Amino acid sequence: MSGQLQEATLDIISHSSAQTQRMAMRLGGLLQGGELLLLDGQLGTGKTTFTQGLAQGLGISETISSPTFTLLKEYAGQPRPAVMPAGKLNVGPALYHFDLYRLDEPEEILDLGFDDYFYNDGSGVCVVEWAGKADGIWLPERLQIRMKIMSETKRGLLFMATGTRYCELLQQFQKNTYATASS
C-alpha cells in the first residue's frame, strides 16, 4: 500500500434519538484521546444528540449543548473505572466539541488557533459538527459520520473511517453494536 490510506465504512439506521445516543456512547467508550470525529448532516439530524452520547461513553456527565455561538466547548476528562495501581485514577480524554454552523470561512478555524486541537493535542477527542464547512483543513486520518433524516424518528448514520487507527476503531465499534458493515 504505497501512500494509500486504509478505508472502511459502516452504515447504520437509528430508530430513535435514544438509540443514536446509545450507539454514540458505545463509540465514546472506545476512544482514547487524539481522535478526530467529523459530523455532517442537515439541521435536526442528531449531531448534538450523537455528541451527547459520545460524552457519556467518555464518562463526562456534564450537560452537552451545541456550541453554535461560541464555536467550541471544552469538557474535562473524567475518571474511568479501570484497574489501576493504588491511588491512581484512570482519567478519560477531554471532549472538544466544535460547531462550525456559523463559520463563514474555513480559515477562521486557523485564525482562532483551533488547529492546535486537531493537529497537536493527543489528550482530547475532537468532535466537529458541520465539519463540511471546513473540508480542506482536516487531517486525512479521521472518522466522518454523515447523518440523514429518514423519517420523523429514523436517522441514517454513515461512518467513514480513513486510516488504520480509525478502521480498527470502526471495526471494534461494529463488534460492540452488532451491526453489519457495508463494503
Per-residue pLDDT for the chain (183 aa), expressed as one digit of tens each? 456 889 999 999 999 999 999 999 999 999 989 999 999 999 989 999 999 999 999 989 888 887 767 788 889 887 765 544 555 556 778 999 999 988 888 888 888 888 888 876 677 999 999 999 988 889 899 999 999 999 999 999 999 999 999 999 999 999 887 644 443
pTM: 0.86
Q: Which domains does the chain have, with CATH numbers?
A: 10-177 (3.40.50.300)
Q: Is 46 left (phi over 0), alpha (psi -120 to 50) or beta?
A: left
Please check whether residue 103 is in contact with residue 130, taking contact to mean a CB–CB distance below 8 angstroms: yes
- List, in sequence order, the alpha helices (H) in the chain: 17-28, 47-57, 107-111, 115-119, 164-177
Q: How far apart are CA 132 and CA 163, in angstroms?
A: 19
User: Which residues lie below 8 Å from residue 116, measured CB to CB, with a gap of 6+?
Assistant: none
Q: SS3 for 99?
A: strand
Q: What is the pLDDT of residue 30?
A: 93
